[in-house]
């Protein structure tokens, strides 16, 4: 008989989906009744609810976080010949959006304390071609928004936030997504607020940007069948919006549970040799999309934890500037030392609101056994 305890998954969506099944089915049935499958009432209702949650003037729902970034950059006037400064320690889509807009991503190094774009490095990367700065609120913690806001206004640059991993995160008490021209959210299923499929949204306080993004997501139609520029089919689906409206009222509770898990990890794993724990910056409401530790023998630790049934993730093993798709930029190993070191050392422990206290305890025990 196998008496070893069940593995602890790095992420498990089934638990949340099962808990919400009756409400989700009811919401989805409402969309079936309305037949508003693409755009329509459910999307508009979610846009209003999420705008209120964020405290911004408008939210425009789209079909992915990648599309949100693309349209936000177009609304910022980014185009061919422009440069956009961003971080290399991110999911590749941050850079894709810059490329889709016809611009060149310029990667600046991260601050190793919070893994986000280092404002001093961003400042040093500004050239006459720079049009925008695109920080990422990585792992659920806001980048240094007041310094980046000052920098952008001093230099006449647009500030666009990649908030794909940071639904509900705050900076000095205000939700991320409202600090620049636009905030870009992903509702990929594994996000803190995840849809049953691909979806995203742009948040903005700028009515002109909102109007342009609304048009661009729907083939740039000014009126039916009148298109005055190249547009996109980036509309949000009704089922996705209806499910998101069921989940949004729970987001703060889920984020609080993530905070409790993060506290348990930080207390349980304190004082271990060579293990660097994440320390949230003062004034930033971290929503722990990932709980990321660093260790110089990361790959060894991943393997030993896997043998003990503990799932882990690596976000991300290769920084974007060293991806083959961006080889033409000519950035070699050593060009962004902090992002590269993070890519070698980071390790994400299991983190989702439905993780039980017993599972958290098992993770802590396993890591302690290996490193104490
Ligand atoms: C930081 C970041 N930016 C952009 C994206 C792209 O979002 P999506 O997968 O919804 O296109 C993601 C997530 O997937 C992300 O984590």
Cα 279 to averaged position of ligand 1 atoms, centre (Å): 24
Q: Which pLDDT belongs to residue 168? A: 98
Q: Mean per-residue pLDDT for 252-259?
A: 98
Q: Which pLDDT belongs to residue 255? A: 98
Q: Which pLDDT belongs to residue 3? A: 64
Contact 98, 129 (CB under 8 A): no
Contact 71, 62 (CB under 8 A): yes
Q: Which pLDDT belongs to residue 160? A: 99
Cα 185 to averaged position of ligand 1 atoms, centre (Å): 8
State pLDDT tens for residues 59-101.
999 999 999 999 999 999 999 999 999 999 999 999 999 999 9
Cα 219 to averaged position of ligand 1 atoms, centre (Å): 22
Q: Which of 63, 66, 73, 202 to mutate to test the pocket of ligand 1 (most atoms within 8 A of CB)?
A: 66
pLDDT of 50 higher than 80: yes
Q: Give residue ranges with CB within 6 A of ligand 1.
A: 64-66, 90-91, 93-94, 136, 162, 164-165, 186, 188, 198, 200
Cα 346 to chain centroid distance, Å, stands at 17
State pLDDT tens for residues 109-145.
999 999 999 999 999 999 999 999 999 999 999 999 9
Q: Which pLDDT belongs to residue 27? A: 98
Q: How do the domains of the chain map onto residue ranges?
A: 14-249, 250-371
Per cent of the chain over pLDDT 90 is 97
pLDDT of 250 higher than 70: yes
Of ligand 1's atoms, which has the minimum distance to the CA of residue 200? 10
Q: Which of 93, 105, 201, 292 to mutate to test the pocket of ligand 1 (most atoms within 8 A of CB)?
A: 93
pLDDT of 364 higher than 60: yes
Element (H or E) spanning 222, and its range? strand 221-223
Contact 312, 348 (CB under 8 A): yes
Per-residue exposure over 85-119, b if at least 16 CB sit within 10 Å of its own CB, e if not:
bbbbbbbebbbbbbebbebbbbbbbbbbebbbbbb
pTM above 0.85, yes or no: yes
Q: Mean per-residue pLDDT for 355-372?
A: 97
Give the Cα separation of 336 and 109 in Å (integer): 5
Closest CA to 269 of 168, 134, 192, 367: 367
Among the CATH numbers 3.40.190.10, 3.40.30.10, 1.10.3720.10, 3.90.1150.10, which is that of 250-371?
A: 3.90.1150.10
Closest CA to 114 of 355, 342, 321: 342
Of ligand 1's atoms, which has the minimum distance to the CA of residue 165? 16
Q: Which pLDDT belongs to residue 1? A: 56
Looking at ligand 1, which residue's alpha carbon is closest to its atom 7? 65
Q: Which pLDDT belongs to residue 5? A: 83
Q: Mean per-residue pLDDT for 171-179?
A: 98
Cα 115 to averaged position of ligand 1 atoms, centre (Å): 16
Contact 140, 289 (CB under 8 A): yes
Cα 259 to chain centroid distance, Å, stands at 17
Closest CA to 316 of 105, 111, 89: 89
Contact 223, 239 (CB under 8 A): no
State pLDDT tens for residues 137-164.
999 999 999 999 999 999 999 999 999 9
With a CB cutoff of 8 Å and minimum separation 6, the contacts of 300 are none
Looking at ligand 1, which residue's alpha carbon is closest to its atom 12? 164
Q: How much of the chain is helix, strand and coil, in % rounded to 5?
A: 45, 15, 40
The widest CA-to-CA distance across the chain, in whole angstroms, is 69
State pLDDT tens for residues 19-29.
999 999 999 99
pLDDT of 4 higher than 90: no
State pLDDT tens for residues 223-234.
999 999 999 999
Cα 164 to averaged position of ligand 1 atoms, centre (Å): 5
Q: Which pLDDT belongs to residue 229? A: 96
Query: Other CB atoms closer than 10 Å to residue 348's CB: what's the count?
Result: 20
- Please name the fold of domain 14-249: 3.40.640
Token pair recorded at residue 36? 């508003």
State pLDDT tens for residues 268-323.
999 998 999 999 999 999 999 999 999 999 999 999 999 999 999 999 999 999 99
Provide Rg for the chain, Cα atoms: 21
Give the Cα separation of 118 and 261 in Å (integer): 27
pLDDT of 2 higher than 80: no
Cα distances (angstroms) measured from residue 278 to each of 184, 198, 319, 362:
24, 29, 19, 19
Give the Cα separation of 267 and 316 in Å (integer): 25
Closest CA to 254 of 287, 280, 230, 231: 287
With a CB cutoff of 8 Å and minimum separation 6, the contacts of 136 are 86, 87, 90, 94, 116, 117, 143, 162, 164, 165
Per cent of the chain over pLDDT 70 is 99
């Amino acid at each position: 008989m196998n008496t070893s305890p069940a593995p602890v998954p790095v992420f498990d969506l089934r638990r949340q989906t099962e808990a919400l099944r009756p409400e989700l089915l009811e919401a989805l049935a409402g969309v079936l009744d309305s037949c508003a499958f693409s755009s329509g009432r459910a999307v508009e209702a979610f846009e209003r609810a999420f705008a209120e949650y964020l405290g911004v003037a408008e939210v425009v729902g789209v079909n992915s976080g990648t599309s949100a970034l693309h349209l936000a950059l177009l609304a910022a006037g980014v185009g061919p010949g422009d440069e956009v400064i961003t971080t290399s320690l991110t999911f590749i889509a941050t850079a894709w959006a810059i490329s889709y807009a016809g611009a060149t991503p310029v990667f600046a190094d991260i601050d190793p304390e919070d893994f986000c774009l280092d404002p001093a490095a961003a400042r040093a990367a500004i050239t006459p071609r720079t049009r925008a700065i695109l920080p990422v609120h990585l792992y659920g913690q806001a980048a240094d928004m007041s310094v980046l806001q000052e920098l952008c206004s001093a230099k006449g640059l647009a500030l666009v936030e990649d908030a794909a991993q940071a639904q509900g995160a705050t900076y000095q008490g205000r939700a991320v997504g409202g600090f620049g021209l636009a905030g870009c959210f992903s509702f990929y299923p594994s996000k803190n607020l995840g849809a049953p499929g691909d979806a995203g949204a742009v948040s903005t306080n700028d009515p002109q940007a909102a109007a342009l993004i609304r048009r661009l997501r729907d083939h740039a139609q000014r009126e039916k069948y009148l298109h005055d520029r190249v547009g996109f089919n980036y509309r949000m689906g009704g089922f996705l919006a209806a499910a998101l409206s069921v989940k949004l009222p729970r987001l703060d509770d889920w984020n609080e549970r993530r905070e409790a898990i993060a506290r348990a990890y930080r207390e349980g794993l304190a004082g271990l040799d060579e293990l660097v724990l994440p320390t949230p910056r003062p004034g930033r409401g971290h929503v722990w999309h990932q709980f990321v530790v660093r260790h110089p023998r990361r790959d060894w630790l991943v393997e030993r934890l896997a043998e003990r049934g503990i799932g882990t993730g690596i976000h991300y093993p290769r920084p974007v500037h060293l991806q083959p798709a961006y080889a033409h930029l000519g950035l070699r190993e050593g060009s962004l030392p902090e992002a590269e070191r993070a890519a070698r050392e980071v390790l994400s422990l299991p983190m989702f609101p439905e993780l039980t206290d017993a599972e958290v305890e098992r993770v802590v025990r396993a890591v302690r056994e290996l490193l104490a």
